[in-house]
Chain A
């Protein structure tokens, strides 16, 4: 579904991502792991058009999507979440989720100014859908609370739910459990496995080995911007290069 074709990104003299290629299969949870600074987030930023790709191409279902910006990619069916939480704290929980439906909404200024019926009905319909999404993570009761009052763990889940609003075909999760406690981590893993993976192909960038090994269908390991190994979780756990370069001994749970 997603094909990364020998992409390179250079910052000054350092190649953050160096001639990297891999494919993501439809319906998979495809994890990308690697030590700190291996180029994982750079890779996500290249796929989502935040960084310009120096060399190489990226294809989605055969269409070239190299260097298309994040907002336009949403209309192509790609959505992402962020390593450092990006939630609008000035909005309520519900409004944050509604934002996910933005691409389906009529935002005509004239109609909005005069409170046109079509706009109100549109809003109502999407509110129901947003509440449904919130109910999946048990947040429908606090839908009208300001996001700034909620815990980090809840907001991390909220971000994933918001991304689902755009009805993506492919979702890129950049460290969805970074900074969460084991209980919250398990909840997010459950959310990804049961809700998201049902409908959406997932590219998961993550440090939490336990979670990656549990939920991934396929793993690509990168180090210093290059591909070190790829395979199923079992293959990766037993790969000598990976153990030497990254996992060390005794880390794999």
Chain B
């Protein structure tokens, strides 16, 4: 949403997800708080942190903003590696099992259901949000900051809010992933993870909520399908992504929109 609707680029969201995950894990493992409550505290901490960084960082635009978020990401990554006692350093740390109000999550099916429910709920909320006057403000910031400003919109305020929202979502996903895999390591907060998130959004289609999901599915499945190529896996992977970017610059989601338009045109 931060990228697709408000037109900002962040290379730090992998790190935010990782840090959020760590906070939740540390709270639940070391302080024996319930997992749900740990995630809740983690979300609040990360939201406050995001709000504080957003003020100076969002004065930057375009490539400079990307570089700054990248910088924050690298700092978080180094911090997680260096703080051995708290985070287990580069070895990572193991995570207790996840439970909600005493109900334990033990097999994958339970996780699928939980994630599916959360995903559908989040999509529903964000689709509503994007359709609302609030969403229009975000789109207007992408269209023309000057125009938004001239009708009374405090542009930097809204950029901060969206940044905080996106970090909150990253924190929730990072925490859940840590509880799901039962393990967390600084790799979750690495630069390549952030890049992966950006590629998902761009690949799927900027400015479309479904776009990011399509991108995520492809980016997760593609490496699995390509394992049979062994050594050439990364090469083919890169080639496919370049191919998609050249021929579908608006992302894969735009294909569906085009098809819909054509079908509608035929009806007429």
Contacts and interface: CB of A to CB of B under 8 A. Distances in A.
Contacts of A208: none
A37 to B, nearest CB: 21
Interface stretch (A17-25, A84-92, A134-142, A219-227): A84-92
Contacts of A71: 149-155
Contacts of A9: none
Interface residues of A, number: 41
B139 A88 contact: yes
Contacts, number: 108
B140 A91 contact: yes
B98 to A, nearest CB: 25
A120 to B, nearest CB: 9
Given A70-B149, A114-B125, A86 B137 contact: no
B168 to A, nearest CB: 11
A100 B148 CA distance: 9
B150 A86 contact: yes
Interface residues of B, number: 28
Most buried by A among B129, B147, B154: B147
Given A71-B155, A90-B142, A95 B149 contact: no
Contact of B146 (A86, A106, A109, A112): A86
Contacts of B229: none
A107 interface: yes
A166 B133 contact: no
Given A90-B139, A90-B142, A99-B140, A115 B128 contact: yes
Interface string A65-108: 00001111011000111100011111100011011101101111
A99 B132 contact: no
A192 interface: no
A48 to B, nearest CB: 8
B139 A123 contact: no
A87 to B, nearest CB: 6
A90 B132 contact: no
B83 to A, nearest CB: 34
18 contacts: A71-B149, A81-B150, A82-B146, A86-B144, A88-B140, A88-B147, A89-B144, A91-B143, A95-B136, A99-B136, A100-B151, A102-B152, A102-B153, A103-B152, A115-B128, A115-B132, A166-B151, A166-B152
Given A79-B151, A103-B152, 18 more contacts: A79-B152, A81-B150, A86-B147, A88-B139, A88-B140, A88-B142, A89-B144, A91-B140, A95-B139, A99-B137, A99-B140, A102-B133, A112-B133, A113-B125, A113-B129, A119-B132, A163-B150, A165-B151
Interface of B: 125-126, 128-129, 132-137, 139-140, 142-144, 146-155, 161, 165, 207
Closest 5 CB pairs of A and B: A88-B143, A74-B152, A112-B132, A86-B147, A113-B125
